[in-house]
Amino acid sequence: MGGQEIEQLIRLLGRLPGFGPRSARRVALYLLREPHTRLAPLARAMERAGEAIRTCSSCGNLDTSDPCHICSDPLRDKGLVCVVETVGDLWALERAGVHRGVYQVLGGTLSPLAGVGPEDLNVSALLTRLHEGSVREVILALGATVEGASTMHWLMDRLETYEGLTISRVAQGVPMGGALDVLDDGTLAAALGARRPA
Amino acid sequence: MGGQEIEQLIRLLGRLPGFGPRSARRVALYLLREPHTRLAPLARAMERAGEAIRTCSSCGNLDTSDPCHICSDPLRDKGLVCVVETVGDLWALERAGVHRGVYQVLGGTLSPLAGVGPEDLNVSALLTRLHEGSVREVILALGATVEGASTMHWLMDRLETYEGLTISRVAQGVPMGGALDVLDDGTLAAALGARRPA
Ligand SMILES: [Zn+2]
Ligand SMILES: [Zn+2]
């Protein structure tokens, strides 16, 4: 529709999560109708975010600094580590404001079918901190899915070797088959508050 | 969440049509996880489309050339002009491949409440072509809304002064209260095929 530059834009928009051809065209038209006030600022914001983005080498969060603003915050409890699957889960918990410790982002779950094994999960920083003896409690905040459960059991096997370490898991409030980052703040607070020994 | 560059990206994404804060965060994360293969190409495509975009001075279409590829196509019937509200409507009719003439994009509908009067609608190019006597038939393809109907009647008043001009309107197939650009191709083809004298 109207030149290869426009078609390319629609094609790339159509690959975004939640997009189909129709919404890609709608967003492209919305942007192209006001190229200076809509399209250019968004393109600029993308470029800047792309240049600024860093993966936190400590927890795996996406931020504009490494270590991220959570890991480098002296007020956060470094002895309390919350393990999540994705950065989206971390952001959801931060928005809810229910966790005063730090995080470990696994970057996924164990999934033999999808070819995701233990070596693909980001746990080395957590194990390093455990070896140093600076961690008091690990909260497993994984989704209530088959993959989340098998990942949790695999992690518990590894964590149980650390003497004196409390291992807990979010329990109440995470609906079956649900992912954490679609829950409302209250549910997240309840799930975290009612955590129990794993 | 993680630096002002990321927050700015999420803020601008949240203004897109069909977006809320949640979908803006989801799309931002999707892009930021792969800045080189996802974010950068989309930003580049936006910039290029923004530089290439032109409004066709003849019909009002958005394209990368002026006149647009439809107006400059020698195979299109310049004597058959289809009047639509938006570029999105034009694109929908083109996708359906049901119109072999050219277009006139009004850029909206008459709407006293929204402060849109006749002077805000793009009709001058159509009137010029009518004065030149090169137009045989005008098809009014406006949405079946209150604004679409009042715009159609205002246009018919102006068009009826041209002797020998056939004025028709899409009739069958456009659902009440519906906009053209959400219809499937078959419905659009039926609506155009069953047009009747206005
Ligand atoms: Zn971090
Ligand atoms: Zn044109």
Rg (alpha carbons) of chain B, rounded to whole number: 20
Could you read off the pLDDT of B86-112 as tens digits, one per residue? 999 899 888 888 899 999 999 999 988
User: Distance (Å, rounded) from C-alpha A1 to C-alpha A17?
Assistant: 22
Ligand nearest to the CA of A101: 1
**Residue B164: Cβ within 10 Å count:** 7
A147 to chain B, closest Cα gap in Å? 21
Q: Which of these, B108, B98, B184, B99, lies nearest to B142 by C-alpha position?
A: B108
Number of Cβ pairs < 8 A linking chain A and chain B: 170
- Reduced to 3 states, what is the DSSP secondary structure of residue A165? coil
Amino acid at A141: A
* pLDDT over threshold 80, residue B188: no
Closest residue in A to B61 (Cα) is A2
Q: Report the pLDDT value the prediction gives residue B25, as an integer from 0 to 100.
A: 94
Give the C-alpha distances (Å, rounded to integers) separating B77 from A93, B33, B105, B137. Answer: 59, 49, 16, 10
Q: pLDDT per position in chain A (198 positions), as tens?
A: 678 999 999 999 999 999 999 999 999 999 999 999 999 999 999 999 999 999 999 999 999 999 999 999 999 999 999 999 999 989 988 888 889 999 999 999 998 888 888 888 998 888 998 988 889 999 988 887 788 889 999 999 999 999 899 998 876 455 656 666 677 676 677 667 766 666
Query: Are B61 and B81 a contacting pair, CB within 8 Å?
Result: no
Tell whether B46 and B81 lie within a shared domain.
no
pTM higher than 0.90 for the full model? Answer: no
Contacts of A8 in chain B (CB under 8 A): 45, 48-49
* B43 occurs within a structural domain: yes
Tell whether B76 and B47 lie within a shared domain.
no
Q: Tokens representing A82?
A: 């919350």
Q: Report the pLDDT value the prediction gives residue A176, as an integer from 0 to 100.
A: 53
Instruction: Answer whether A42 sits within 8 Å of B13, measured CB to CB.
Output: yes
User: Distance (Å, rounded) from C-alpha A147 to C-alpha A117?
Assistant: 11
Give how many domains chain B has, as a whole number.
2
Tell whether B103 and B47 lie within a shared domain.
no
* B191 occurs within a structural domain: no
Give the C-alpha distances (Å, rounded to integers) separating B90 from A4, B61, B99, B104, B120. Answer: 17, 8, 10, 9, 19
Tell whether A146 and A90 lie within a shared domain.
yes
Indicate whether this complex's ipTM tops 0.90.
no
Strands (E), chain B: 54-55, 62-63, 77-84, 101-105, 137-140, 166-169, 196-197
Q: Report the pLDDT value the prediction gives residue B177, as an integer from 0 to 100.
A: 60
* B24 occurs within a structural domain: yes
Tell whether A85 and A43 lie within a shared domain.
no
Average confidence (pLDDT) over B10-39:
94
Question: How far is C-alpha A168 from the geometric centre of its chain's CA atoms?
Answer: 19
**Average pLDDT score over chain B:** 88
Tell whether B78 and B117 lie within a shared domain.
yes
Picking from A1, A42, A51, the nearest residue to B46 by CB comes out as: A42
Q: Residue B47 phi/psi, 5° resolution?
A: -60, -45
Q: Report the pLDDT value the prediction gives residue B133, as an integer from 0 to 100.
A: 85
Q: Which of these, A112, A120, A125, A19, lies nearest to B42 by C-alpha position?
A: A19
Q: CB neighbours of B23 closer than 8 A, spacing ≥ 6? A: A18, B13, B14
Q: Report the pLDDT value the prediction gives residue A178, as an integer from 0 to 100.
A: 63
Q: The domain containing residue B76 runs over which residues?
A: 72-169
User: Distance (Å, rounded) from C-alpha A28 to C-alpha A6?
Assistant: 8
Question: How far is C-alpha A43 from the geometric centre of its chain's CA atoms?
Answer: 24
Confidence of residue B52 (pLDDT cuts 50, 70, 90): very high
* B180 occurs within a structural domain: no
Q: Tokens representing B138?
A: 């005008």
Q: What angle do CA A108, B8, A48 make, to 5 degrees?
A: 80
The CATH number of the domain holding residue B129 is: 3.40.1360.10
Confidence of residue B58 (pLDDT cuts 50, 70, 90): very high
* B57 occurs within a structural domain: no
Q: Tokens representing B137?
A: 């038939």
* pLDDT over threshold 70, residue B180: no
